[in-house]
Structure 1
Amino acid sequence: MSIEYYDSVWDTIEETPEEALNMRLRSELMAKIAGRVQEWGITQNEAAHRLGITQPRLNDLLNGRINKFSLDALVNLTGPARFHLELAIEDEKEVAA
């Protein structure tokens, strides 16, 4: 039996590399936003209001219900969470070098 290694747990769960990348990005954004909410030290109702979402929606985010959030929805929360988000697209040839 050989042992396989993956860069991300999502690579083992998802069927395609594109799906794995989408899930990895979503999980990273969720973790950052959840961390920011914790830093605020305020109630979920106050944090939800700050983010412009409902308290049940915030609860889904804080409890890691990743399938309830699209990448687009999470990107839209980065502004109210006071994050600066940039997209870096690199040529695979340059990354491998």
Structure 2
Amino acid sequence: MDVEIAHVTPPGANLFAELGFTPEEARQYHEEARLHIKQALALKEQLMAELVLWMEEHKLKQAEAAHILHVTRPRVSDVVNKKTAKFTIDSLVEMLARAGKSVSLEVRNHITAKSG
């Protein structure tokens, strides 16, 4: 098995350009990917804020919240400190369900104005 790394894309570089897409395609795909990542991070932060609010409303210590949420105390600390990279949206929704909160999702159309 070959385990040698042939190429590493530097941080901040456009992966799509490195994969051989045309400059315009690479720019478009890169921009779309950044938007999706930004939206996912905002959603995770919103879910984490709801968990923190629940803890505050019930005056729960992290260990108590961990017991109710069926996670470890360090996981609760990661929520409190908004370490979004450590969580999937699914895991945060599951924790909110264990806290007795339901999560609903709204889907909206993106309308882009084109000048012409």
Counting matched residue pairs gives 80
2:55·2:61 contact (CA, 8 Å) conserved in 1?
Answer: no
**Could you say what the CA RMSD is over the residues aligned between the two structures, in angstroms?**
1.7
Q: Whole-Å Cα distance in 1 between the matches of residues 93 and 36 of structure 2? A: 18
Larger radius of gyration: 2
**Aligned-residue offset at 1:43:** 2.2
Structure 1 consecutive aligned stretches of length 4 or more whose deviation exceeds 3 Å: none
1:68-90 residue CA offsets vs partner (Å, 9 max, x unmatched): 11111111111012212111112
Taking structure 2 as the reference length, what is the TM-score of the superposition? 0.62
State the identity %: 30
Q: Please list every run of 5 or more consecutive structure 1 residues that lacks an aligned counterpart in the other structure.
A: 1-14
Higher relative contact order (CA 8 A, sep 6+): 1
TM-score, scaled relative to structure 1: 0.73
Higher helix share: 1
Residue 94 (structure 2) aligns with: 76
Matches within 5 A, 1:46-57: 46-57=64-75
